[in-house]
Amino acid sequence: MAPTTRTAERLDRKTALVQAAYRAIAAEGFEGLRTRDVADEAGVNVATLHYYFPTKEQLIRGVVEYTMGRFRSTLESRAASSDQLRSHLHAVRRLIKNEPQLGIVMGELALRSARDPAIARIMEEANGAWHRTLRALLKRAAREGSVHPELDTDDVAALLMATLTSMTLPTVASGPRIDQALRQLERWLGVNRSRPSN
């Protein structure tokens, strides 16, 4: 077997394990996350699971990376910064609507991180990376004149994260308040399509 094929198979197995753990958390919460069940669903034995993820914490880290990857997929890299911001807001909304299990997993991770220092560290790392990405995008938008230059990009990135994260809560995600919040954020940032001319 060629090295590239082996590497692809390993990646496929690792991805299958992460996605099986993701589905387990979405269906049954952390209480239902059992490595034997994850291995069975991925079609491997427990020893193989432990080869890729020696600890449950590393498996959860894989789930967090997968989950945050779903959010990162909503960032368009070639668009103007104001278009990127607007698209990100709407794409996150669509993502949560189309993949309700994403909100469930994010909620489970957030709740568990309050009681589990290891998960708290993983979430801090992931949220830190997201915050840096949003802050950089906002800084670029300010330089381009797409958002108000007096906005504190650090604070605005935190506000965007708080708003977008709240969308993952099942009681919030299905209501009209999310669309209202997105429209207001767009107006406040100055990235809405119907910007008034000066």
- CATH for the stretch 3-54: 1.10.10.60
Task: Quote the CA–CA distance of 148 and 184 in Å, as a whole number.
Answer: 15
* In the chain, ranges of CATH 1.10.357.10 domains: 63-189
- Which position has the higher pLDDT, 105 or 146? 105
Q: Where in the chain is the domain with CATH 1.10.10.60?
A: 3-54
- Structural tokens at position 176: 């009209």
Decide: 186 and 159 in contact? Cβ < 8 Å.
Answer: no
- Whether 21 shows a pLDDT value over 90: the answer reads yes
- Find the Cα–Cα–Cα–Cα dihedral 178, 193, 83, 91, rounded to 10°: 30
The verdict on pTM exceeding 0.95 is no
Sign (positive or negative) of CA dihedral 21, 22, 28, 31: positive
pLDDT of 81 above 60: yes
- The pLDDT of residue 197: 40
Residue linked to tokens 């669509």: 94
- Condensed to tens digits (0 to 9), the pLDDT of residues 124-140 reads 998 999 899 899 988 98
CA distances from 41 to 60, 88, 99, 105 (A): 16, 32, 20, 18
- pLDDT, mean over the chain: 84
Backbone φ/ψ region at 190: left (φ over 0), alpha (ψ -120 to 50), beta: left
Tokens of 167: 């969308």
Fold of the 63-189 domain: Tetracycline Repressor; domain 2 (1.10.357)
Lowest pLDDT segment from 1-5, 11-15, 70-74, 159-163: 1-5
Q: Using DSSP, state whether 193 is helix, strand or coil.
A: coil
Dump pLDDT digits (tens) for 31-63: 989 999 999 999 999 999 999 999 999 999 999
Torsion of CA 46, 49, 50, 55, to 10 degrees: -110
More confident residue, 89 or 124: 124
Q: How confident is the model at residue 178 (pLDDT cuts 50, 70, 90)?
A: confident
Look at the alpha carbons of 185, 188, 191, 197 in this order and tell me if their dihedral is positive or negative: positive
Specify the pLDDT at position 195: 41
How many Å is the Cα radius of gyration of the chain?
19
Given this model, what pLDDT does residue 188 score?
83
